[in-house]
Structure 1
C-alpha cells in the first residue's frame, strides 16, 4: 500500500474512532478498524497507530467525520477529550488535503452508497428519485440532514433540525410538553427523540399516570419494552416511535424530501421488530391533505454499520463538500 493508491477516512464519535483506507477515487472502505478514543491522548496518536496497524507509511488525502460542530480549523470533540487544529494536523502529517465534516453530514453522504440488503423498508413508496432525500436518526442526539440531487451527485444539507420545537398533537402530549418545559424551558424534539429523550418521555408519562418510573436508562426502558416486563416502558417506546414518525413526516414536507427517508444511527436497529410494528407509520402519514404524498414516500431503516465511513469517502471526491 502506498500513499499514491490510498486515502484515509474516519468516523470519530464520543467513544470510538472508526478508520479505513479507500483507493483513490473509490468509495469502498478497506482495512476498517475501530479504536477506543480513551486509549489515545489525541487524534494524531490514533492515526499513527492505525496507519502502523494497516502497514501504510503515509496517505495524501484524508477526510474525517466528527461528532462535533465544525467551524474553522479548531475541533473540540463533544463527548471525548480530543482537541485538534485540522491545519496543524495536516501539516504534521504532510497531507495534501484534509477535510473535516460533521458526522451526520457524513451519514447523509453515505446513504446513497449503502447496499440494498442493508436497508429495511418500513413503509411507503415508490417515491421520486429526482427529489431530495431526508436523513434522520435518533442516537445521542437527533441528527437531521438532507441530500439534494445534482445531475451527477448529491449536495448534503447541514442542519440543526433536531432542535425544532416539539409540537404536541393531543392532551397527553400537551401534558408531556408542560412537564418537560418545567425541566428544560424550551422543548425541542431532541428532548424526546434521542437516548436521553426516551428516558425523558418515560418519566413524563410516569408523572402523567402518577405511577413509579423505576428505570433510569434508555437501554433499560428498551429492554423492558421488548420483554413486556414494564407496561410504562412499552407505552413510552411506542409513543417515541409515533413522534419520530410525525417529525420525519414534517421534515419531508419542509424539505420536499419524497425521494425517500433514511433512518440512521444505532438506536432503531436494536429494536427493529418492535419499530416495524409501532405507530411510526401512523405518525408519518397523518398529514391531512398531504397524506398521499407521505404514503408515496419510501422510508427505510439503515442497518449499515459504516455509513459514516462511506460518507467520508464520498466527501473526498465530492466537490460540493468543503471541509
Structure 2
C-alpha cells in the first residue's frame, strides 16, 4: 500500500461507491493504481504500453491482476492522465500508437465516469500537495498565491503551469510548451542545433530535452569531436556518465542540464512563476547529485536584466514516485462533487 499526502480535496471526498481507478499513461509505460480511500493509493503497477494493443486492453490487464482484483468488485469511476493533448473526445497519442474515443472507452470498460486529461495538467494539479516529496535546487522562498511552473523530460518534454484562484482552487494550464522552437544560448548549442537540422526541419525543445534528445546531443557532440556516426542509447549514456566512465557522456548530461535550466527560466518568466518551477519527468530524478552539481541553476538565472528576478524563484525536483495520481485524484474528486 502507498499513501501519499492528502489534500483538502481528498479529505472532503467520500468513497461510498467503491475504489476508483487512476492511471498515468506515458509513451513507454502505463501506471495504474486504485484509490480505495481519500488519498490512499493501492495496487500500484506499471505496465509496458508496447505489450498491449489498446489502452482498454491495458486497463483490463491491470484490473485482472490479483492485487487489483482483490480490492474491487467493479470500478464505477476512473481518471486517466495521458501524455498527449486532450481537446475533445478523440485522443491519438503522439509518442505511442494508442488512439481512442473517451466515450467509447468509458462504455467498453463499464465506467459511470471517465475523466481523461493531459498528463502534465494532472501533474501540475499535484504540486500543492507534494509536501516533503520535492527537493529544492536554489532560489529563495516561494511567494504565496503565485503561479507555479512545471516541466519534465522523459519520453517527451511536458510543460504546464498552475494558476491560483479563489478559495484555494488552482487551474492547470493545458500547455504543449515542449514543442516550442529550441533556442540555443551559446556556440556549442548552435552547433548542436545545426546538427539536429540535418534530421529535423523543426527542432523543438522536446527534440533535445527528452530521452531521444539525450541521444541526439550525444550524436552531435560525437560528430563535433570527429567521431561521426557514433550513437548510444540514453540509459547507457547516463550510466557511463554517472559511473565516470566517459567524458563525452558526462558532457552530454551537462549540456542537457544547461538546456533544461534555460527552458525552466523561460517558463518562470513567461508565467511569472514566483511560486516556484518544478522539474518532473523520468530523467532528472535519476541523475541525483549530478544534476545538483550541473549548470542547471546557473542557466536558470542567466537572463541578463532579469537575473535578479530569477535568483529569488525556487526550483524543485519532484521526488514523489507517482505524483500524477495526486493530480488525477483531485480532478476526479472535483468532477464527482460537481
**Pairing partner for 1:136 from 139, 151, 163:** 151
Determine the C-alpha separation between the residues in 2 that align with 1:203 and 1:157.
34
**Pairing partner for 1:69 from 59, 78, 85:** 85
**Secondary structure of 1:87's match?**
helix
Determine the C-alpha separation between the residues in 2 that align with 1:82 and 1:190.
20
- Is residue 270 of structure 1 aligned with residue 283 of structure 2? no
**Secondary structure of 1:205's match?**
helix
Describe the superposition over 1:67-115 as per-residue Cα deviations: whole angstroms up to 9, x where unpaired.
2332322233444454432212323444332111111221211222223
Q: 1:217 to 1:46 in 2, by over 3 A?
A: closer
Determine the C-alpha separation between the residues in 1 that align with 2:189 and 2:108.
53
Describe the superposition over 1:12-50 as per-residue Cα deviations: whole angstroms up to 9, x where unpaired.
2234322222257x3432332333344544333443444
Deviation at 1:232, TM superposition (A): 1.4
**Secondary structure of 1:123's match?**
coil
Determine the C-alpha separation between the residues in 1 that align with 2:229 and 2:51.
36
- Is residue 202 of structure 1 aligned with residue 215 of structure 2? no
Determine the C-alpha separation between the residues in 2 that align with 1:78 and 1:191.
13
Q: 1:33 to 1:230 in 2, by over 3 A?
A: closer
Determine the C-alpha separation between the residues in 2 that align with 1:92 and 1:167.
44
User: Comparing 134-143 with 220-229, which one deviates more in the overlay?
Assistant: 220-229
Describe the superposition over 1:169-206 as per-residue Cα deviations: whole angstroms up to 9, x where unpaired.
22222222222223212222212111111111122222
For structure 2, the residue ranges without an aligned partner over 5 or more in a row are: 1-14
Structure 1 length-normalised TM: 0.90
Determine the C-alpha separation between the residues in 2 that align with 1:106 and 1:301.
17
**Secondary structure of 2:300's match?**
helix
CA RMSD of aligned residues (A): 2.3
Determine the C-alpha separation between the residues in 2 that align with 1:149 and 1:62.
26
Deviation at 1:119, TM superposition (A): 0.9
Describe the superposition over 1:221-243 as per-residue Cα deviations: whole angstroms up to 9, x where unpaired.
11221122221111121111111
Structure 2 length-normalised TM: 0.86
Determine the C-alpha separation between the residues in 2 that align with 1:154 and 1:311.
11
For structure 1, the residue ranges without an aligned partner over 5 or more in a row are: none
Aligned to 1:295: 311
Aligned to 1:222: 238
Aligned 1:1-323 pairs, distance under 5 A:
4-23=17-36, 26-52=38-64, 53=66, 54=68, 55=70, 56-116=72-132, 118-151=133-166, 152-211=168-227, 214-318=230-334
| Count of residues in correspondence between the two structures | 317
Contact 1:264 1:302 in 2 (8 A): yes
Q: 1:142 to 1:81 in 2, by over 3 A?
A: closer
